[in-house]
Structure 1
Amino acid sequence: MTTVEPQWVPSPADIDSAVVTDFARFVETRTGTAYPDYHSLWRWSVDNLDEFWRAVWDYFEIISPEPGVALASSAMPGATWFAGAELNYVDQVRRQARDDRPAIVYVGEGGERTETSWPELLRQVDALAATLRGLGVGTGDRVVGYLPNIPETVVAFLATASLGAVWSACGQDYSAPAALTRLGQLDPTVLIAADGYHFGGKTHDRRGEVEQLRAGLPTLQATVLVSRIEAPVDGTIDWADATAGESEPTSVAVPFGHPLWVVFSSGTTGLPKGIVHGHGGVLLEHLKAVALQTDIGHDDNFFWYTSPSWMMWNFQVAGLLVGSTIVCYDGSPSHPTTDALWNVAAREQVTVLGTSPGYVLACAKAGGVPRTDHDLSALRTVGITGSALPPSSSLWLRDNVGVQVGSISGGTDVVSAFIGGVRTVPVWPGELSVPFLGVALDAFDVNGQSVRGEVGELVITAPMPSMPIEFWNDPDGKRYRDAYFDTYPGVWRHGDWITITERGSIEVHGRSDSTLNRNGIRMGSADIYQAVENLPEISEALVIGAEQPDGDYWMPLFVVLAGDAELDDALRTRIKTAIRDQASPRHVPDDIVLAPGIPHTRTGKKLEVPIKRIFQGGDAARAVDRSAVDAPELIEWYAAYGTDRMAKKD
């Protein structure tokens, strides 16, 4: 085994007090078998899925009539979970109501702050549910949001779910056309929107976008407007009126697989896929992921920097399922200074903070030391997702924050994680500590054989309850099957390259559909970024490996410079040396190109595959949907660069 020192090791007190340890004791009592460590508990959980998920159900005391067998059919796709259950996600939130701490704390970019108590949260949920019911919303109808990350968004979701209606939302950074390509698929009954939002020190008026949405959603019966910038919109219902007064609590009991929400794929290369998850599957998966894996409970303040467009918003709301206080933040993570998120974490005594590798790198380059610049005495874990966290950034967190790093990897597809951390297992730099409980994780080679210690495809060989119940407007299930089961029949292929180490930890190398395959040697793009983006002169990078019509293989690296750096011969040499020494001498790029920026999806993923298709001769207008891109004007630059290169070759 390669000798790698862990950067964080749980103390005996950490292990003894962890929720997952208490759960292990609960399981030991039921099974009569001891589980001395996490890996033995994980092995039992995937070998005995029916027993495991029934144990989760009983441990968290889910309210429902007798649910029957947990897993009646394990076929993928099409597994049958808790066929006799009737429940509602919101009931689990109601059970957490308390008077000693708020349910939601809102923090604005300018420092403004509000608290929403548990009784007030539930009063607003019930009042809005009554309003929605009066507007004709019933079980299975759709309510959609065009909102920032504010408490009203949480209320809107919970009110919708309590009726057995289906929720979906976009953040207000999406243009009206981008939002319509998603929400317009759902034929919604009610739109809940804000008049604007605040970001980067500016106020963004979105009344025009709200009007475009109303015009583009012909099934709407009404629009409820949240005032954020005090800019009214004619013909809408004021939020204050929609949530006024007292109403009887309503939670419609629905089957385990009844749709809870629709979340959308990035949609960069076509119409975004509407991914539908059920009440029961989300409830169980999020209780497991939040409580057992992330160790969040009644005494925690949980803050993940996110947007309603991204599944991590759904994941943060799950903090309410275990009685924690969630922190909603509407603004830039780096305004007015780079350490804005650390400032919020300190002010709110956050115990679990979630952010991205990009933000960590920006903080490292800014030169601050969060644990001395801010009071982070309450902070226990820093969660990371969005892309792979380089070892250098992980070690920076060790040295400058000094807490457990809980890097996770999963996706919108299951609205959770497959792999990540747990309070009872060490953290190694650049590695995710464990597969999550109940996740039958494996790595397959090209022949579908399980591999260890080498790069393979991330696969899931047994069902999870939060796998999609369907794709929206996919009546025969073909799009669903093609998305995950076209390579290994009956096995979920996620599209990531991973290595499962002898320690049982996991390294994530990036998307397998953007693999760098030079002379038969495959490498994930994340390995290149880890080497290049650690250089102080580099703000961000994008690497592409594109097979050419003439049989050539072209591998350019595009870089965005930091500060007043220049892309001269000396810097080019340093970049090549970093890749050669830290990644692979076979993957030194053919060209290093100064770019005006790197395009991303609106959830922060680099547009490797669409840019690759453009460089392979694809039509830029068809290769990427600009409404799904954070800086669509950059697509023209990359298309022009590719065209110019081809012209010079000819």
Structure 2
Amino acid sequence: MTATSTLPLWSPSKDDIALAKLSSFAKGIEATHKLSFNHDFRALHQWSIQNPEAFWTECISAFGLVYDGDIHPARINTEQAPFARWFPQLNINYAENMLRWPGHWTALIEAGEEGEGRHWSFSELRCRVSQHQRALRELGVSAGDCVAGVLPNAGEAVAIMLAAASIGASWASVSPDFGVAAALDRLGQVNPCVLYSVAEYRFNGKSYNVAANIDKIAADLPSLKRLVKIGGGWPEGSVGVHLEDALPSDNTQQPDFIRLPFHHPLFVLFTSGTTGAPKCIVHGHGGTLIQLTKEHQLHCDISAQQRVIFPSTLGWMMWNWSISALASGATVILYDGSVVAPDELSIFRLAQQLRVNTLGLPSAFLERCGQKQIDIKGQVPLKDLKLIFAGGSVLSPEGFEYVYEHVSPQVHLTTGSGGTDIVSCFMLGNKWQSVYAGEMQGPALGMDVQIFNEDGNPVIGERGELVCCAPAPSMPVRFANDPGNKRFTKSYFAGFPDVWTHGDFAEETLNGGFIIHGRSDSVLNPGGVRIGTAEIYRQVQKIECIENCVVAGQQYDNDVRVVLFVVLAQGQQLSDELCAEIRQLLRENASPRHVPKFIIAVDDIPKTRSGKNAETAVSALINGREPSQIHALANPESLEHFRNRAELAK
């Protein structure tokens, strides 16, 4: 059992509880079903998983979602994973529910390393969505097609996505820092008919031009009808149509919306590509909308016209998560760039300037601030801030303590776990429970979350597999390119019969919270961004003098360092020039996050008896653990090359 704190860092006041949207939601259930929860979150959660049809029906009603058709039945069981179809008689449109607010309300605020940018009203956003909607229809784009973007986090990207959703086309995106191979590994699988892209982007004070990459990506997408070029930096005579020429001139019309089946595809999100090409996870209109609105309102206490920011790129599901706060009438601040440019105080100054209420930050960033003992509250008082969401990776107990000592003693600090697979969270915070150092407050409502031991029995106070024992609306509709649902079923339901196994090594505490101890597979997680080892291998193996390689993540200072081990051809040496070539290849063809912190030459790499590199054995050794199942290795003597490496002690 992991030692946990018995004293909370924060507890809700009586006013916090009384004014929470969670409390008004619970009162509605109590009145309808003649219950009394007495602000006991465990009791409310238990009711939500024992009565899932009633719970999710109450959510649709309480959130005022716009739809037509019959809300009953809420769920029918299916034989294929994820073993349920939700609201089969209901038609809904995600974009319509994002844009249903008064026109004068502020919908979006653009921001970046240079500060505050354009403000978009809901009226302006609706009109821009209408322009994109008409342009897409003129190209013949319709329900079932896919629209894609290689875009920064800005209002135009939101408008394009909503336009695609409004007519039933799905949306897939990557950020401009993706290399050609990494982008094509994803977009090449979903056959987009229109691609929107920029040629230039800025990060950490520097400008980058990726026009040549975009030309290559567009050339290798045979389904593409049009490349729409946004902004400057495009070479003379480059392929594609500029945005100004692609849109109709009338910018006063309102969009219309096709109400679609609850499960109709909305987003295609991509996994990290650990064992091959990234999986294409298809999320539906209804499941995404109802789940994220539940998280925003009931777990994060977000209300209409509160201001929400979570710095993200379009290659991370937190972009989809944060922009969906529009469904609650919130103002979403779109931050594009580095959160440490020009320094760590910058994002807090921006939050102060824009009167932010909900501030999402990478856990690794908060850990960095804590290591430097930066006194935020003394330099940048955040009087409007109500909630900090630490995401992307595990926040250490010391990180929790830093927030309450040096950022704000009154703020509600929440962390969550879930991600791309469900475009939401399995565990999250709430305004009824206390916050304990290092713990997620509890399970998300409607999610039957448990920790299973190796025998498939639920345990508390022991480490095991994070599972979800019942279907939930935000579980994927399907994977793209997955005949018979075979890859989908294998990915999530192979561990325990009919139970979603998420791949996190976790623990439920006696406080009722949860601790994530790491991934149970080989996905790397530097800075909270999941990347796959196969994406690194595909690039490194292009270098002729490298015969084999293995990559693993080393836990260091509450983050993960990517370590690449290479076996060189006879007579070759690991020179500075070769290391630079490896790093450049990964930066250009994958992303900067794929670039290893250390590159180390070894004589051999441990392999399984089937000839596969034993990544888990390498990972164990560089993290100070003894590998299990050494007898299963074909060459166990090779493990000595990875023990007590002096380079990794730095």
Look up the SS of the partner of 1:423 in the other structure. Answer: coil
| Residues 508-547 of structure 1 aligned to structure 2 (within 5 Å) | 508-513=516-521
Which among 23, 27, 38 is matched to residue 25 of structure 1? 27
Instruction: Give, in whole Å, the separation in 2 of the partners of 1:285 and 1:614.
Output: 46
Contact kept? 1:149, 1:329, Cα under 8 Å: yes
| 1:456 pairs with 2:464 | yes
- 1:299 Cα deviation from its structure 2 partner: 3.1
> What one-letter code is carried by the residue in structure 1 that aligns with 2:446?
G
| 1:432 pairs with 2:436 | no
Look up the SS of the partner of 1:204 in the other structure. Answer: strand
Instruction: Give, in whole Å, the separation in 1 of the partners of 2:516 and 2:591.
Output: 24
* Matching residue of 1:180: 184
Which among 414, 419, 431 is matched to residue 422 of structure 2? 414
Contact kept? 1:74, 1:463, Cα under 8 Å: no
Rate the CA distance shift 1:643–1:15 in 2: closer, same or farther, 3 A. Answer: same
Contact kept? 1:197, 1:330, Cα under 8 Å: no
Contact kept? 2:215, 2:239, Cα under 8 Å: no
Contact kept? 1:225, 1:233, Cα under 8 Å: no
* Matching residue of 2:98: 93
Instruction: Give, in whole Å, the separation in 2 of the partners of 1:109 and 1:48.
Output: 46
> CA offsets, 1:160-202, max 9 Å, x none?
0001001000001101221111001111110011121111111
* Matching residue of 2:474: 466
Instruction: Give, in whole Å, the separation in 2 of the partners of 1:637 and 1:26.
Output: 58
Instruction: Give, in whole Å, the separation in 2 of the partners of 1:479 and 1:224.
Output: 33
Contact kept? 2:282, 2:480, Cα under 8 Å: yes
| 1:496 pairs with 2:475 | no
* Matching residue of 2:89: 84
Contact kept? 2:566, 2:600, Cα under 8 Å: no
Look up the SS of the partner of 2:314 in the other structure. Answer: coil
Instruction: Give, in whole Å, the separation in 2 of the partners of 1:387 and 1:170.
Output: 20
| 1:598 pairs with 2:600 | no
Contact kept? 1:207, 1:233, Cα under 8 Å: no
Instruction: Give, in whole Å, the separation in 1 of the partners of 2:377 and 2:146.
Output: 44
Instruction: Give, in whole Å, the separation in 2 of the partners of 1:500 and 1:128.
Output: 46
Which among 482, 486, 496 is matched to residue 490 of structure 2? 482
Which among 347, 351, 372 is matched to residue 341 of structure 1? 347
- 1:411 Cα deviation from its structure 2 partner: 1.4
Look up the SS of the partner of 2:182 in the other structure. Answer: helix
* Matching residue of 1:383: 389
Rate the CA distance shift 1:177–1:243 in 2: closer, same or farther, 3 A. Answer: farther
Rate the CA distance shift 1:434–1:158 in 2: closer, same or farther, 3 A. Answer: same
> What one-letter code is carried by the residue in structure 2 that aligns with 1:376?
L
> What one-letter code is carried by the residue in structure 2 that aligns with 1:432?
M
| 1:129 pairs with 2:128 | no
Note the residue ranges of structure 1 that are not aligned, 5 or more in a row.
516-524, 530-554, 562-578, 580-594, 600-606, 616-620
* Matching residue of 1:50: 53
* Matching residue of 1:224: 228
Rate the CA distance shift 1:226–1:12 in 2: closer, same or farther, 3 A. Answer: same
> CA offsets, 1:98-143, max 9 Å, x none?
41x4110001212251111110000000110000110111111010
| 1:109 pairs with 2:113 | yes
Contact kept? 1:124, 1:243, Cα under 8 Å: no
Instruction: Give, in whole Å, the separation in 2 of the partners of 1:122 and 1:427.
Output: 39
- 1:90 Cα deviation from its structure 2 partner: 1.0
Instruction: Give, in whole Å, the separation in 2 of the partners of 1:383 and 1:159.
Output: 29
Instruction: Give, in whole Å, the separation in 1 of the partners of 2:449 and 2:556.
Output: 36
Look up the SS of the partner of 2:592 in the other structure. Answer: coil
* Matching residue of 2:319: 313
Rate the CA distance shift 1:2–1:353 in 2: closer, same or farther, 3 A. Answer: closer
| 1:236 pairs with 2:246 | no
Contact kept? 2:198, 2:230, Cα under 8 Å: yes
> What one-letter code is carried by the residue in structure 2 that aligns with 1:473?
N
Rate the CA distance shift 1:647–1:507 in 2: closer, same or farther, 3 A. Answer: closer
Instruction: Give, in whole Å, the separation in 2 of the partners of 1:300 and 1:157.
Output: 22
* Matching residue of 2:309: 303
| 1:630 pairs with 2:636 | no
Instruction: Give, in whole Å, the separation in 2 of the partners of 1:497 and 1:240.
Output: 49
Contact kept? 1:268, 1:629, Cα under 8 Å: no
Farther off after superposition, 235-244 or 442-451: 235-244
- 1:366 Cα deviation from its structure 2 partner: 2.9
Rate the CA distance shift 1:498–1:86 in 2: closer, same or farther, 3 A. Answer: same
* Matching residue of 2:17: 15
Rate the CA distance shift 1:375–1:34 in 2: closer, same or farther, 3 A. Answer: same
- 1:239 Cα deviation from its structure 2 partner: 2.4
* Matching residue of 1:565: none
| 1:208 pairs with 2:216 | no
Look up the SS of the partner of 1:7 in the other structure. Answer: coil
> CA offsets, 1:274-298, max 9 Å, x none?
0001111111101101111111111
Look up the SS of the partner of 1:271 in the other structure. Answer: coil
Give the TM-score normalised by structure 2. 0.81
* Matching residue of 1:570: none
Which among 145, 148, 151 is matched to residue 152 of structure 2? 148
Farther off after superposition, 431-440 or 499-508: 499-508
* Corresponding pairs, count: 565
Which among 245, 249, 261 is matched to residue 255 of structure 1? 261
| Residues 154-193 of structure 1 aligned to structure 2 (within 5 Å) | 154-193=158-197
Instruction: Give, in whole Å, the separation in 2 of the partners of 1:425 and 1:441.
Output: 17
Farther off after superposition, 445-454 or 630-639: 630-639
- 1:630 Cα deviation from its structure 2 partner: 3.2
Rate the CA distance shift 1:509–1:142 in 2: closer, same or farther, 3 A. Answer: same
> CA offsets, 1:68-114, max 9 Å, x none?
21112276423111010111111111222341x41100012122511
Contact kept? 1:387, 1:510, Cα under 8 Å: no
* Matching residue of 2:273: 267
| Residues 537-576 of structure 1 aligned to structure 2 (within 5 Å) | none
Instruction: Give, in whole Å, the separation in 1 of the partners of 2:332 and 2:593.
Output: 30
Rate the CA distance shift 1:213–1:320 in 2: closer, same or farther, 3 A. Answer: same
> What one-letter code is carried by the residue in structure 1 that aligns with 2:592?
D
> What one-letter code is carried by the residue in structure 2 that aligns with 1:54?
T
- 1:54 Cα deviation from its structure 2 partner: 0.7
Rate the CA distance shift 1:631–1:323 in 2: closer, same or farther, 3 A. Answer: closer
Instruction: Give, in whole Å, the separation in 2 of the partners of 1:614 and 1:438.
Output: 49
Farther off after superposition, 42-51 or 221-230: 221-230
> What one-letter code is carried by the residue in structure 2 that aligns with 1:79?
A
| 1:374 pairs with 2:383 | no
- 1:641 Cα deviation from its structure 2 partner: 7.8
Which among 447, 451, 473 is matched to residue 443 of structure 1? 451
- 1:347 Cα deviation from its structure 2 partner: 1.4
Look up the SS of the partner of 1:496 in the other structure. Answer: strand
Instruction: Give, in whole Å, the separation in 2 of the partners of 1:285 and 1:385.
Output: 17
Look up the SS of the partner of 2:506 in the other structure. Answer: strand
Rate the CA distance shift 1:640–1:137 in 2: closer, same or farther, 3 A. Answer: farther
> CA offsets, 1:230-277, max 9 Å, x none?
767634333234264233422111111110010000113310000001
Rate the CA distance shift 1:258–1:366 in 2: closer, same or farther, 3 A. Answer: same
Contact kept? 1:125, 1:243, Cα under 8 Å: no
